[in-house]
């Protein structure tokens, strides 16, 4: 049986919303990784190895992530429930910038869309580690990382760094908080997660179920 393969606009970095179909899930994660890498170029150190484990392939399985190899500023992408999950090690400069950012739609993540440990300014358990679903909350495209000073004309000269969705221009800071008056209605989703050790993150379970 021939399985139709969806087209991919790598230049735009877009991907449709995920579906339960396994072929489509794998494609979505790959598209996200390529979108990030293609757009970021040298500026985005993307950890290449995100091949899902056999355990992760099972629907709903939690995913263990070794965060010890992620350097400051890097993003590691893992698959969870068919979605790309970003695990990003934030630099001290990024964290400082989060405190100074204004113009956000929901700076403290009050909307009921994420675990309680994400209802703070950095939207994470550990300030230095962002864990977020890498899918735009507007129509499901794949945002890309843009550093401060990016020449991308879609962000202004005062851009302090964050994520940019090339489909309709939504912008997010390095906590995944959406800027006001953008198409995306809410911050990037934070999946349930917990730390098993200093270097091991578990995505998909937080002990509250």
List of residues contacting ligand FES (CB under 6 A): 136, 138-141, 165, 167-170, 183-184
Chain-centre distance of CA 62, in angstroms? Answer: 17
Question: Cα-flanking dihedrals φ and ψ of residue 145, to 5°?
Answer: -85, 130
Long-range interactions of 152-156: CB distance < 8 A, separation 24+:
none
Is 193 considered catalytic here? no
CB 117: neighbour CB atoms within 10 A? 17
Smallest distance from the beta carbon of 22 to ligand FES, in angstroms? Answer: 23
Question: Cα-flanking dihedrals φ and ψ of residue 164, to 5°?
Answer: -130, 130
Q: What is the DSSP string of 35-98?
A: HHHHHHGGG--EE---PPPHHHHSTT--EEEE-TTPPTT-EEEEEETTEEEEEEE--HHHHHHH
The Cα-based distances of 82 to 59, 100, 160, 201 in angstroms read 8, 34, 31, 18
DSSP code at position 4: P
Residues with a known catalytic role: 168
């Amino acid at each position: 049986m021939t399985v139709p393969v969806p087209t991919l606009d790598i230049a735009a970095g877009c991907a449709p919303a995920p579906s339960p179909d396994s072929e489509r899930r794998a494609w979505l994660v790959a598209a996200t990784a390529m979108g990030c890498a293609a757009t970021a170029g040298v500026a985005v150190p993307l950890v290449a190895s995100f091949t899902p484990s056999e355990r992760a392939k099972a629907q709903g399985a939690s995913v263990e992530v070794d965060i010890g190899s992620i350097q400051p500023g890097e993003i590691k992408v893992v698959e969870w429930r068919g979605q790309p999950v970003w695990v990003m090690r934030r630099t001290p400069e990024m964290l400082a910038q989060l405190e100074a950012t204004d113009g956000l739609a929901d700076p403290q993540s009050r909307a009921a869309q994420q675990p309680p440990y994400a209802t703070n300014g950095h939207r994470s358990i550990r300030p230095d580690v962002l864990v977020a679903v890498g899918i735009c909350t507007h129509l499901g495209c794949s945002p890309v990382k843009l550093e401060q000073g990016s020449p991308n004309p879609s962000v202004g000269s005062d851009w302090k760094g964050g994520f940019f969705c090339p489909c309709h221009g939504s912008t997010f800071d390095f906590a995944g908080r959406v800027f006001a008056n953008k198409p995306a209605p809410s911050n990037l989703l934070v999946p349930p997660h917990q730390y098993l050790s200093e270097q091991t993150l578990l995505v998909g379970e937080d002990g509250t179920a």
